[in-house]
A and B are shown apart, each in its own frame.
Chain A
Amino acid sequence: MDSAEAYVIVGGSAAGMAAAQAIRERDPAAGITVLSEEADAPYFRPLIPYLVSGRKQAREMTLAGSGPYTGRDIQVWTEARVTAVDCKGQRVTLADGRQLGYGKVLFATGSRPFLPPEIKGTDTEGVFALRTLADARRMAKRAETTRRAVMLGGGLLNLKAAFALLERGIRVTLVVFSPEVLSQLMNPSDALLIRHALDRAGLEIRTGTAARQIVGDESGVCAVGLDNGDEIACQMVCIGKGVRPNVDFLAGSGIRIGEGIVADRFTACNQPNTFAAGDVAVTHEPVSGRPIMTALWTNAVEMGRCAGFNMAGLPTAYTGTFGILNATQVADMPFVAMGTVHTEGVDLEIHRHASAEAYRKLVFDTDGKHLVGAVLVGDITNAGIYRYLIREKRDITTVKRQIVNHQLHYGHLLPI
């Protein structure tokens, strides 16, 4: 294959593989090479907690051939880390010295866990930040000899990891600096039902406190010291303190980096024939247009697919995404958080409804004509319709009562 026509994709996960699939749908014959630093072939990253709990095997997480990922002849090179990009010569250099020319290249290198430098001892054995299948394997191994684990950070990822360990019968303590869990996704008062569900499930939660240091001995981690002077004895620590984009390999390439890789509305970077998508890319929020970074599988796929179409010559504008667009179930409590959900001290019209089983908060703009955010806990029926209304900035005046009462259905929106 002539490299002037070849597609090279750096990063073989949500964004990279979605792009490869989109290119293949447009062009049955194009050469597509995906370069991935990991030793594992592409997999569904959000499933890795199931390897820790033992509910799934790694082979059940394989991406190629599952869902929409059916494209043929997509070459995936594993253990292929890109260390430099030459935008003039249109080629990438791998860690082992190999070089590969491209016609068009996509940067979909995602993100890696952030390890706060103020916490000492994060390099101790038995300390994890769950991101890759390799991490999950190591964590599962360590779990065999772990009686108690301490999770630092109260985000969704750490909660998922916490539940995987609870399922294995390990005692788990979650240490959260914020006043409540999931502070990125909702206000403390919105999280009440979820907190009860976590308590019922046996998760120990300590809020308003942070870890100072991780203490180790010859068997690895043995305790965590907190800023209030407490020390918790444990055999495992899991850090969930957010992620940072993988952009180091672009040093000196001329690719513009802001908070992440800067891409335009058509997912293109500032150099010819270069594109970016997924966790690594700066995108924009559809309601306000503000630049944001996201850490969402759904967004990485959507943007990756968009980039693939653009690379294959079908101009496709990326409409952006909400920074918050989460659905999941923790313990027995399903919830969805999307759009503008932090409403403390903001001038917005807010409708809340709480019962023993369900809670909802619907956020409208100041004139009350547009839905801008929603938190649904317990009953998430028709959440997708709300997402649609927020994203399309629909005037909701005629269906506002149905929204507030959580009775909206698609029939209400039909022109009948």
Chain B
Amino acid sequence: MTQPKEIFVLTDRCVGCRTCTIACAVAHSTSKTLFGAVAETPRPKSRIYVEWAAPAHKVPMVCRHCEDAPCMHACISGAIRRTDDGVVITDTDKCIGCWTCVMVCPYGMIGRDLERHKAYRCDRCPDRDIPACVAACPTGALVYQTVPAYAADVRRHASGEMVKGKGS
């Protein structure tokens, strides 16, 4: 099996240009082109978010595909599972739009598609070698890395920043 890779965020490199959000929306559109995507209804949605935090930080944020993913266990319809590549995905057919995942994600990384009444999130672009957001980032703020031997620790640290002492 190939080494699982993860998207790492280097906040100090982000200039807030939001190229990643456009690339993500395009990658998740029907046409897969920028010109096609802007004309589509419902509007293709980005799964990565760039927010601003005082005093002058730009913070790109995307699903961490957490180790003991709260969304996956909380889902009341069995719509959320982990693939063999370690990616936590939402099965749109099974999703009933109850928003339980939105209620339990400590990062606020699950979006609500109101037109379709379905939850959506980062799927790490399964059909691409490098996720669209990472490929598009002009400043190297997003890194897609083969997780080395200390993978588990890195991930635990990454999610541990916020989810300290989560019981298990």
Contact = CB atoms under 8 A, between A and B. Distances in A.
Given A384-B107, A385-B108, A298 B168 contact: no
Contact of A301 (B73, B77, B105, B110): B73
A67 B59 contact: no
A47 B161 contact: no
A67 B165 contact: no
A387 B103 contact: yes
Interface stretch (B19-27, B49-57, B122-130, B146-154): B49-57
Contact of A411 (B53, B97, B104, B168): B53
B107 A385 contact: yes
Given A334-B112, A388-B162, A388-B163, A328 B104 contact: no
Contacts of A413: 162
Interface stretch (A29-37, A106-114, A316-324): A316-324
Contacts of B98: 46, 327-329
Nearest to B117: A329
B73 A384 contact: no
Please classify the interface of chain A as helix (H, G, I), strand (E, B), loop, or mixed, using the class held by over half of its residues.
mixed
Interface string A287-317: 0000000000110011001100100000011
Contact of A414 (B59, B73, B75, B104): B59
B38 interface: no
B168 A44 contact: no
Contacts of A329: 97-99, 117
Interface residues of A, number: 48
B102 interface: yes
A262 interface: no
A382 interface: yes
B49 A47 contact: no
A66 B81 contact: yes
B79 interface: yes
Contacts of A336: 99, 102-103
Given A68-B72, A411-B51, A414-B59, A298 B99 contact: no
Given A328-B98, A385-B108, A409 B61 contact: yes
B77 A409 contact: no
Given A67-B75, A334-B99, A334-B112, A412 B53 contact: yes
B94 interface: yes
Nearest to B49: A409
A318 B161 CA distance: 20
Contact of A327 (B61, B73, B103, B109): B103
28 contacts: A46-B98, A66-B78, A66-B79, A67-B78, A68-B81, A68-B82, A297-B74, A302-B74, A302-B167, A306-B168, A319-B166, A327-B103, A336-B102, A380-B103, A383-B108, A384-B104, A385-B107, A388-B163, A409-B49, A409-B53, A409-B108, A410-B106, A411-B61, A414-B11, A415-B161, A416-B53, A416-B57, A416-B59
